Amino acid sequence: MTRSSQTTRSDVVAQAQHIVDELDLSPDDIRRVTKHLVQKLQDGLVNDRPWQLPTYVTYVPTGTEKGRFLAIDLGGSNCRVCMADLHGDSTFTVVQSKHQVPAAVMVNQRYRPLFDFIAHKLAEFLDRQLDRGSTSPYKLGFTFSFTCEQESLRSGRLIHWDKGWDIPEAIGRDPCVMLQESIDRMGLSVRVAVLANDSVGTLLARAYTSGRDVSTVGAVIFGTGTNAAYVEKVRNLQRLKMKGVGGDGIMVVNTEWGSLDDEMAVLPRTVLDDQLDAASVDPGCQMLEKRVSGMYLGEILRLATRRLVETGALDMSVELGSCLLVHHGIDSSLLSLLATAGDNVGEVIHCLERTLSAKKVSPRDARSIQMIAEAIARRAARLAGACIAAVIIQSGRLQSPAKSSAAVKSKPEYVSAPILSYKSLCNYTPMFLRRLIDFVRIVCKLPSWMMPEAAVHENTLDHTTDTTLDGTIDFGADGSLIECYPGFEIGLREAMREVTEIGTIGEQRVRMTLTPDGSGVGAALMAYATSLDEEKG
């Protein structure tokens, strides 16, 4: 593809800046989005919606859980088979195998090819790691990262696919049943014991590793897709009353926030967004996810860059086989590479030439594309901050941290004895040192989880009378965006501070901890919970 016309340098800058301006979100925009999301979260607690889905997980781990459990984590484009050993001291070990899911089973009329593929990988894992011929079935937690209406810990109904998947025959069916069918055909001694969600699993895994010092309120996923789960009071889940579920306990809720504004009441909308949505497998659905998750950010950049090339706004040209001409040809990792390059124009040019198969990339081309990529990621981060703010507001943790925290750590028989941990010692870090750590983190664009945990948490103690860890609003986090994109967490925290109910003080109380292997370990923890129920029953 060659340029269609020549433009002046000021025209090029103006076109790139116009795209950047379209992607910009003001503090008022953030406040409107947050307010709307809170309303939708509250609506989903009362009415039967495809969001705010009850999970029937009614306790949060304390770190004392023990046992060995299998887990399968299916989501994005990968399938992981895991064996998690819970040691009972807030630590665990995981052995896993990771597999790329073939495109032919991700988009297919029939569901059997997908679940046969998973069962086959499970069989290979058992042959390598465990006794495949065991007479006692292994309990397996199934993390299925697509929207399901759960009917119990062990069963659910698939509502719809996202992340580019489309298997019509599976809609309305129970993922656990479909997987068990394939497992049984393989003759494996495995029983699918629980249906999990990636955000729910990450919450449980974070609660397990945090121990009894911290009461985890939720978990967020910012990767191929995006989602969140949080702890809610059962009495607020009025949609469950029709099913005879009630009481004063707690339940983890799967927000499915990627679809919270499919009606486009407050979400930003650009020509690029409309083009992306129209070409997707699910037009009009998951509109928030299409602005936040890693699956779509690269495509937005591709559409913007292609527009500039076609209008002759750039000096560069691309070959016919360039990924710039292929639907979803650009991965979101390119945005991270461009952000990491910073002011090194030569590195940016080399990156674009290599990735886009581009020729004659000029410095102004490099800067224009880099500037647009930064704007796309910044918008995603700020929308992510608005989402987290909405969950925090709905959780009630801002009003009464000590009371709310006490309500979350249920089943006191599982609570371990207090220990003196590194986190506890950090309580005594001098104020000036904490400020220095914060300054270094912000200047270097480091996410909070790369610094000592006190660096984020301890800001809470500067502004409240609470001198314990109960004041922390604790989240587990997972996903390539928050892990790999420089400044993503800084951007979402900036947006959180702009929300009136959160502000600077509230934002400083929020701790986000990277929780690797969260989906698999969380599924294992749910399988552990079903084992306890079976022992009691």
DSSP 298-338: HHHHHHHHHHHHHTT-SS-EE-TT-GGGSTT-S-THHHHHH
pLDDT (mean) for 59-73: 90
- Domain assignment present for residue 13? The answer is yes
* 421 has pLDDT over 50: no
The domain total for the chain is 1
* Burial call 15-49: b when 16+ CB within 10 Å, e when fewer: bbeebbebbebeeebbbbbbbbbbebbeebbeeeb
pLDDT for residue 359: 94
Cα 265 to the center of its chain, rounded Å: 23
Is the CB of residue 118 less than 8 Å from the CB of residue 96? no
Residue 233: is its pLDDT beyond 60?
A: yes
Asked whether the predicted pLDDT for residue 332 surpasses 50, the reply is yes
Amino acid at 186: M
Q: How far apart are CA 374 and CA 69, in angstroms?
A: 41
CA distance 294 to 281: 16
- Using an 8 Å Cβ cutoff, are 199 and 75 in contact? no
Q: According to the model, what pLDDT value does residue 446 have?
A: 53
Is residue 368, in this structure, part of any structural domain at all? yes
Sheet with 92-100, strands from edge to edge, namely: 92-100, 78-87, 66-75, 138-144, 190-196
> Are the beta carbons of 70 and 139 closer than 8 angstroms?
yes
What residue numbers bound the domain in which 269 lies? 9-48+264-379
Q: Please give the Cα distance from 385 to 392 (Å, whole number).
A: 11
User: Which pLDDT score, from 0 to 100, does residue 435 have?
Assistant: 41
Q: What DSSP element (H or E) covers 74?
A: strand 66-75
Integer Cα distance of 471 and 408 in angstroms: 13
Does any domain span residue 327?
yes
pLDDT for 417 beyond 70: no
CATH number at residue 351: 3.40.367.20
Query: Does 17 map to a domain?
Result: yes
What's the DSSP call for residue 255? -
> Does residue 32 fall inside a structural domain?
yes
Residue 282 lies in a domain: yes
d(CA 515, CA 372): 30
d(CA 302, CA 311): 14
User: Once rounded to an integer, what is the mean pLDDT over residues 290-303?
Assistant: 97
Please tell me the predicted confidence (pLDDT) of residue 317. Answer: 92
- Structural domain contains residue 315: yes
Are 523 and 71 contacting, i.e. CB atoms less than 8 angstroms apart? yes
pLDDT: is 368 or 471 the higher one? Answer: 368
Predicted local confidence at residue 129, as pLDDT: 85
Q: What is the pLDDT of residues 481-491, one digit of tens each?
A: 999 999 999 99
∠ Cα 497 499 504 (to 5°): 30
Is 411 within a domain?
no
